[in-house]
C-alpha cells in the first residue's frame, strides 16, 4: 500500500505538517439545510414527523406503538446472545465502572467568619444516548456513554438506535441492559436527535445528548446545541504512534491497521527517528493487510491519511504529537514514562509495547470517547464530569455582610451600577 | 411600573409558564451571515482585516503597531485610578483566588496487578478573554474570567477589549494587571473573536475563548467553536427570588431592580405564596425606581420580563425555580438551608436575607459567569475546570496483557473488527 513517507528535515515538511494539524472539518451547508428542516418538522409534529423520516430513511414501517423496544424484544434479544459473550460484556462494564468511579467529584462548602461559600455538584437529570446501527454495531459505545452517566447519578438515561431490517442488534440491547438503560427507541438520524432535543409523545426531552453518529447526526447535534447540551464532536478516528524502533515492527503495523479499519477517513501516523524500522513497518502493513476483513476501509484510510514521519529524535516526535493533539497516542518506547510529562495534548496515551490502543477501546476502563481533530488541545475524554453540573452557593451572616458591604457598594459604583449598590446599603441601613 | 402578576392556580398559568421556561433564543441568520464574512476576512487577511473592521465599527484610527496596549499605556492607566480603588480590586481578586483554589482537581494514577490506569489533568495552553468596552466597563469581568485560568495554570492569557474614543478604560487595565494579564489588544466585536480563533500577525491564536459580548460577539464565538473551545453562551441576566414574605419587601424590591439594571432583556421573577407581601414588593419597586440612574434599562426590563408569581407554597416555588433553571436564585427565606437539597437547577444560589446576588457579582469569591437561558440544567458556572483538559493513560504489563488479552480479542470480534483483535494476538503469539 501507498503510505506517505516524509522526513522532518525536508524543506517542505512544515507546509505539509500544517495541513495535518488543521485537519478539523467544517459543516456542509447543504446538509445543514436539510437537517434543519428535519429538526423543525419533528419539533412541530412530534412522533408523526419522527416516524415519517424513520420509515423513509431506514426503509422500515414502524407504527407509533413500535417506536420503543418492548420488554419482550429485550428478552428475545438476550436469548440470542451466547452466555459467555453476555458475561464478557458484563466484565468489561465492571472495569469501566471501576475506572469512572475514580472521577467522582465532591461538592464543597467552606465556612469561615460568618460566610459559607460552596459548590454543589448535581447530576444532569435526563440524558439521551445516540448509538449508531448498521452492519457492525458497537456494544462498547453503549457502555462507554451510559456508565459515566450512571455514576454521575443521572435519573433518566434513554437510548436511540436506528432500526435496521433485522431489528435492533441484540448486542446493543444486551449492553443497554447491563448499563441499566430501560428506555430504548428504534429511531436514528437527525430525526432522533431532534426528538430527544424537543421531546415527542413517545420520546422524552432530555438535557444532554451524547454518542457518535454520521454527518447528519453530528450536524443535528450542533444545531440543537444550546437548547440541550451535547458531547464533543466525534470526527474520524486517529492514532499517532511514537516509536524508538526497539519493538517489533509487526506490532506497530498492527496498531496502525487497527485504527485504519474504523473509517476511510481515519488518520494513522507513525513518528520515529529510525528510518530502517519505518521501512519494516511499511512492509509489515502490506503483509498483515492481506488477511484482514475490512480491506476496502483499511486501504482507503491508509492511502489517504497514513503517514510515516522520520523525526530527528524522540523529543521532536513528541513536539509534533503535541501539535497534532491526537485522539490516541501510543508511546511505543522502551521508557515511555520518561516522556509522559512532555505530552501536552492527547485524548488518551498508551504507554509501552504491551498497551495497544485496542485495550482502551474495550477493557482497560478509561473512556474510549475521545477528542478528535486536534480538540484534545482544549477538551477531554467523556467522563463522569460530563454528566454533572455545578452550582455556586453563597451565604453571608449579618456580620459578614457588614464587614464586606462597603467594598461591594464601592465596586458596584465603580461599574456604574447603583441599583446593585442599593441591595447592600438597604440591608445595612437598619442596623 | 407595570409588573406582571400571576397565580399558579390560574387556569392559564401553565401556558404562560412554558414561555418563561423556554426563554432561550436562537441566532439571527442575518447576523450570522455578516459575522461569517468578518471571520473569513480576518482568517484570510489577518491584521489588515482586523484593523479595517475595528476602525470602521469602533470609529477609531488605529495603526498595526497600536493594536496592543503598550507598557506606557498601562502605567498611565494605573496612575488614573485612586489608590483605594486599586486596593479594592486587589482585595476582590484575592477572594476570587481563594474560592477558585478549592476547585483544583488532581491527576490520578491507579496501579494494580500490572496495570496503570490514570487521568492526567493539564492546563489549556492559550486562552483569550473578551471584555466588552462601552460606557460602563466591568473590571469584575476581567477578574472572573482570568483568575480561574491562572489557577488552572494556563501559560498564555490574552485579553481583547474594544478601543473607545477615550481609549481603553483604566479600570479594565488595572484588573488585567492584577490578574496577571500582560497582553491586551484594543479590538472588539466579531473581528476580535476571529483574530483569537485563527491568529493574526499581532494576535496569537488561542485554544479557548471566554468572556461575554453582544450578539455579534456571541455569534462569532458560536461560529468558531470546534476550531477553538468557547465558554457557555451568556444571555441576558436573570434572577429568581423565592420569598416567604418574612423579610423586608424593600430588600426583595432592591434585588429585583439590581438585576433589571443590567440589561433591557433581563428577567426578574419573584415567587412567593404571600400575596400581600408581593403587593408591597411591587410598591417598593416603584418607590426605589425613582432614584435610580439607569431608569430606561430598568423600566424596559421590568415591564418586559418582570414577573411576580403567587405560588401555593414554598415547595411549589422551588419546583417552578427548578423548571426555570435561573442564573441567580435567591432563597429569601428564614430557613434557606432546609430547601437547598431540593434545588436541582441554578447557576448560583444565595441563601437567606443577608446574601444578595450582588455579593456574587463581586466579593463573595465564586464566579459570576453563570449559565443563563435555562442552561443551568446542563452547565456550570465558569471555573478552574473550564481551563483544564484531561488525558486518559493506560499502561499494561506483559502479564496484565496476557490476563485480559483473550477478552479483548473476543470483544473486538463481536464488533467485527479483526484488525483490532490482531493488535493483541500479535503481541501474545511470541510468548
Q: What is the pLDDT of residue B247?
A: 87
Residue B26 pLDDT level (bands cut at 50, 70, 90): low
Q: How much of chain B is in helix, strand and coil states, percent to nearest 5?
A: 50, 20, 35
ipTM over 0.90? The verdict is yes
Taking the Cβ of residue A103 and every Cβ of chain B, the question of whether any pair is shorter than 8 Å is answered with: yes
Average model confidence (pLDDT) for chain B?
A: 94
d(CA A405, CA A420): 11
Taking the Cβ of residue A403 and every Cβ of chain B, the question of whether any pair is shorter than 8 Å is answered with: no
B430 pLDDT more than 90: no
- Is A368 tagged catalytic? no
Average model confidence (pLDDT) for chain A?
A: 94
pLDDT tens, residue by residue, A181-237: 999 999 999 999 999 999 999 999 999 999 999 989 999 998 898 889 999 888 899
Answer for the pair A270, A256: CB distance below 8 angstroms, yes or no.
Answer: yes
Q: What is the pLDDT of residue B20?
A: 86
Q: What is the mean pLDDT of residues B367-382?
A: 96
For B168, residues 6+ apart whose C-beta sits below 8 A from its C-beta are B69, B73, B77, B133, B161, B184, B186
B196 pLDDT more than 80: yes
A25 pLDDT more than 70: no
A430 pLDDT more than 80: no
- The radius of gyration of chain A from alpha carbons, rounded to an integer in Å, stands at 26
Q: What is the mean pLDDT of residues B6-28?
A: 83
Taking the Cβ of residue A102 and every Cβ of chain B, the question of whether any pair is shorter than 8 Å is answered with: yes
Q: What is the mean pLDDT of residues B138-161?
A: 97
Answer for the pair A251, A285: CB distance below 8 angstroms, yes or no.
Answer: no
Q: What is the mean pLDDT of residues A43-70?
A: 94
Cβ within 8 Å, pair A355-B396: yes
Q: How much of chain A is in helix, strand and coil states, percent to nearest 5?
A: 50, 20, 35
d(CA A401, CA A427): 9
Distance from CA of A377 to the nearest CA of B (A): 7
Report B:259-278 residues touching A (Cβ under 8 A): 260-262
For residue B383, list chain A residues with Cβ-Cβ distance below 8 A.
119, 390
Q: What is the pLDDT of residue A234?
A: 81
Report A:227-266 residues touching B (Cβ under 8 A): 227-229, 233, 248, 250-251, 254-255, 257-258, 260-262
d(CA B395, CA B341): 41
Cβ within 8 Å, pair A226-B233: yes
Active site residues of B: 327-328
Q: What is the pLDDT of residue B237?
A: 93
Phi–psi pair at B205, nearest 5 degrees: -70, 135
Of B360, B411, B423, the CB nearest to A392: B360
Residue A24 pLDDT level (bands cut at 50, 70, 90): low
Length of chain B (residues): 431
Answer for the pair B239, B361: CB distance below 8 angstroms, yes or no.
Answer: no
pLDDT tens, residue by residue, A76-86: 999 999 999 99
Beta pairing, strands B229-230 & A238-243: unpaired
A199 burial type by CB count under 10 A (0-12 exposed, 13-18 middle, 19+ buried)? middle
> Which residues is A121 bridged to in the sheet?
A390
Q: What is the pLDDT of residue A26?
A: 62
B234 pLDDT more than 90: no
Q: What is the mean pLDDT of residues A368-387?
A: 96
pLDDT tens, residue by residue, A151-185: 999 999 999 999 877 788 999 999 999 999 999 99
Residue listed under C-alpha cell 486562552? B127
Q: What is the mean pLDDT of residues B17-41?
A: 85
Residue B167 pLDDT level (bands cut at 50, 70, 90): confident
Amino acid at each position: 500500500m501507498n503510505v506517505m513517507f516524509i522526513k522532518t528535515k525536508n524543506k517542505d515538511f512544515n507546509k505539509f505538517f500544517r495541513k495535518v494539524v488543521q485537519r478539523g472539518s467544517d459543516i456542509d451547508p447543504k446538509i445543514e439545510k436539510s437537517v434543519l428542516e428535519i429538526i423543525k418538522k419533528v419539533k412541530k409534529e412530534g412522533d408523526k414527523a419522527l416516524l415519517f423520516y424513520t420509515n423513509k430513511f431506514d426503509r422500515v414501517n414502524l407504527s407509533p406503538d413500535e417506536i420503543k423496544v418492548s420488554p419482550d424484544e429485550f428478552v428475545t434479544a438476550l436469548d440470542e446472545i451466547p452466555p459467555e459473550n453476555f458475561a464478557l460484556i458484563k466484565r468489561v462494564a465492571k472495569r469501566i465502572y471501576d475506572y469512572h468511579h475514580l472521577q467522582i467529584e465532591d461538592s464543597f462548602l467552606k465556612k469561615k467568619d460568618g460566610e459559607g461559600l460552596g459548590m454543589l455538584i448535581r447530576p444532569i437529570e435526563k440524558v439521551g444516548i445516540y448509538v449508531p446501527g448498521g452492519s457492525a454495531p458497537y456494544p462498547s459505545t453503549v457502555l462507554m456513554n451510559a456508565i459515566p452517566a450512571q455514576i454521575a447519578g443521572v435519573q433518566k438515561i434513554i437510548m436511540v438506535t436506528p432500526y435496521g431490517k433485522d431489528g435492533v442488534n441484540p448486542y446493543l440491547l444486551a449492553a443497554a441492559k447491563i448499563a441499566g438503560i430501560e428506555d430504548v427507541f428504534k429511531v436514528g438520524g437527525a430525526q432522533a436527535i431532534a426528538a430527544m432535543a424537543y421531546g415527542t409523545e413517545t420520546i422524552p426531552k432530555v438535557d444532554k445528548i451524547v454518542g457518535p453518529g454520521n454527518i447528519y447526526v453530528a450536524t443535528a447535534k450542533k444545531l440543537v446545541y444550546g437548547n440541550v447540551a451535547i458531547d464533543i464532536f466525534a470526527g474520524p478516528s486517529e492514532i499517532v504512534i511514537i516509536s524508538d524502533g526497539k519493538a517489533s515492527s509487526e506490532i506497530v503495523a498492527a496498531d496502525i491497521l487497527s485504527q485504519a479499519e474504523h473509517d476511510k477517513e481515519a488518520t494513522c501516523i507513525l513518528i520515529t527517528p529510525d528510518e530502517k524500522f519505518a521501512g519494516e513497518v511499511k512492509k509489515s502493513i502490506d503483509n498483515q493487510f492481506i488477511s484482514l476483513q475490512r480491506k476496502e476501509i483499511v486501504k482507503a484510510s491508509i492511502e489517504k491519511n497514513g503517514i510515516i514521519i522520520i523525526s530527528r529524535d524522540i523529543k521532536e516526535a513528541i513536539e509534533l504529537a503535541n501539535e497534532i493533539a491526537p485522539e490516541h497516542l501510543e508511546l511505543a518506547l522502551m521508557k515511555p514514562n520518561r516522556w509522559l510529562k512532555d505530552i501536552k495534548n492527547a485524548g488518551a496515551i498508551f504507554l509501552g509495547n504491551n498497551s495497544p490502543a485496542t485495550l482502551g477501546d474495550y477493557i482497560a476502563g478509561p473512556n474510549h470517547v475521545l477528542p478528535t481533530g486536534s480538540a484534545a488541545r482544549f477538551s477531554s475524554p467523556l467522563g463522569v464530569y460530563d454528566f454533572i453540573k455545578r452550582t455556586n452557593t453563597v451565604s453571608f451572616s449579618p456580620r459578614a455582610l457588614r464587614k464586606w458591604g462597603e467594598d461591594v457598594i464601592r465596586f458596584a459604583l465603580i461599574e456604574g451600577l447603583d441599583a446593585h449598590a442599593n441591595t447592600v446599603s438597604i440591608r445595612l441601613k437598619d442596623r
